Amino acid sequence: MSRTDSEENLHDEAARAGWLYYVGGKTQDQIAAELGVSRQRAQRLVSRAMAEGLVHVRLEHKISSCLALEADLARRFDLQEVRVAPGLGPNSDPTRAIAATAASVIEKYLKSAAPLIIAIGTGRALRAAVDEMVPMDADQHRIVSLIGNIAPDGSASHYDVIVRMSDRVRARHFPMPVPVLSDTTEERSLFQRLRTSRIVFELAHTADVTFIGIGQMTADAPLLKDGFVSAEELAEMQAGGATGEIAGWIYDAEGQYLSGGINSRVGSVRVEPDRTAPTIGIAAGSTKVPAIFAALKGRLINGLITDEPTATALLSL
């Protein structure tokens, strides 16, 4: 091994140790066990990561294994933009792993001097990413929501992000003024005919970049956990082939939207396949792998921000 290769591997190891310590919240004993090194070496690696500026909460050094996964994902799924964050180890929340990486990608677009229309979905991963963003003045942009945040009982979703994001970047924002799910198709049509709804829909359809969460349709489906559908409705959708969800719209294992069911009552903007503008999914975790894979297969997204374990699982399918 050359000296350059040895130094690069040491940087990789130090960056990973710093990531696990400062982002993953792991102890030096846990890091030592995960990396297969002594506690003393783990301590030295964490110190090196800070001394060399590899970690400032966000990871500044690209780990070579993540770069390789990014290249493989981009090549296999023909993606415009790919970011793979280091995993935080077993039993860790993958949302924490990808939040800072997703924030940096969103910030890249917000730093554009040219005015952009930025469409935003909802969910835990997007909210975590927005919480990691640095405050800035980006009033040249317009931020538009793809989805309403009103649940059937009239309450607001805890994971709506557009207002939170607008507060951070001081940009004009356009919330979706409709329920996530209407009671009937007629009611949905009524909401969508409102002038304010038409404005938001038109902006979303012409967005320069779109960031979306990807929901799984397993027993821990976000739509179920957040009270938008019942267990019976979820079971019915699963029987119909439901695999994933984007902005409330349900799709199957091929990335094709289901006909009928709750899709006839969803009030949000539907993300159509084969978009040319960047349409970036932000998602990670073992339960989300089938949903992400289906979205990639159906060309519902052309960009992805995820973590190492999820990327590896996707490439194995």
Same domain, residue pair 51 and 165: no
- How confident is the model over 172-201, as a mean pLDDT? 92
- Each residue of 55-88: pLDDT tens digit? 666 666 678 899 999 999 999 999 999 999 999 8
Give the pLDDT band (50/70/90) at residue 169.
Answer: very high
Same domain, 235 and 102: yes
Domain of residue 18 covers 1-61
Check: CB of residue 301 under 8 Å from CB of residue 112: no
Q: In this structure, are residues 168 and 136 in contact, taking their beta carbons and an 8 Å threshold? A: yes
> What's the mean pLDDT in 15-29?
86
The rounded distance, in Å, linking the Cα atoms of 249 and 294 is 13
Question: 86 and 46, same structural domain?
Answer: no
Per-residue pLDDT of 204-237, as tens digits, reads: 999 999 999 999 999 999 999 888 899 999 999 9
Q: Which amino acid is at 204?
A: A
One domain, residues 263 and 207: yes
Q: How far is CA 169 from CA 44, 109, 117, 137, 148, in A?
A: 37, 12, 14, 5, 21
Report percent pLDDT > 70 for the chain. 94
pLDDT at 150: 74
Verify that 23 and 77 share a domain, yes or no. no
Fill in the amino acid letter for 167. D
Among 8-17, 101-110, 246-255, 288-297, whose mean pLDDT is lowest? 8-17
Residue 2 confidence (pLDDT) above 70 = no
Residue 169 sits in the same domain as residue 252: yes
The predicted model gives 144-166 an average pLDDT of 81
What whole-number distance in Å separates Cα of residue 299 and Cα of residue 231? 29
Q: How confident is the model at residue 1 (pLDDT cuts 50, 70, 90)?
A: very low
Q: Are residues 143 and 222 in the same domain?
A: yes
How many C-beta neighbours within 10 Å does residue 284 have?
Answer: 32
Q: Does 303 lie in the same domain as 203? A: yes
What CA–CA distance (Å, rounded) separates 129 from 148?
Answer: 19
Q: What is the pLDDT of residue 25?
A: 81
Residues 76 and 158 in one domain: yes
Residue 57: the pLDDT is 61
- CATH code of the domain containing 9: 1.10.10
> Using CA atoms in the order 241, 247, 249, 253, what is the torsion angle rounded to 10 degrees?
-30
Which CATH number fits the domain that encloses residue 229?
Answer: 3.40.50.1360
What is the arithmetic mean of pLDDT over 188-213? 95
Same domain, 185 and 132: yes
pLDDT at 36 exceeding the cut of 90: no
User: Using CB atoms within 10 A of its CB, is residue 149 exposed (0-12), middle (13-18) or buried (19+)?
Assistant: buried
* Structural domain ending residue among the three candidates 61, 79, 96: 61
Q: What DSSP assignment string belongs to 93-123?
A: -HHHHHHHHHHHHHHHHHT-SS--EEEE--S
Q: Is the pLDDT score of 18 beyond 90? A: no
Q: How many domains does the chain have?
A: 2
Q: Which of 30, 61, 92 is the last residue of a domain?
A: 61
Residues 37 and 89 in one domain: no
Beta strands in the chain (DSSP E): 55-56, 58-59, 81-85, 117-120, 142-145, 172-174, 209-213, 215-216, 244-246, 249-251, 279-282, 303-307
Identify whether residues 19 and 149 lie together within a single domain. Answer: no
Q: Of 33, 61, 89, which residue is a domain's last?
A: 61
Average per-residue pLDDT in the chain?
Answer: 91
Q: Which comes out higher in pLDDT, residue 72 or 51?
A: 72
The per-residue b/e assignment along 183-210, b for 16 or more CB within 10 angstroms, e otherwise, is eeeeebeebeeeeebeebbebbeebbbb
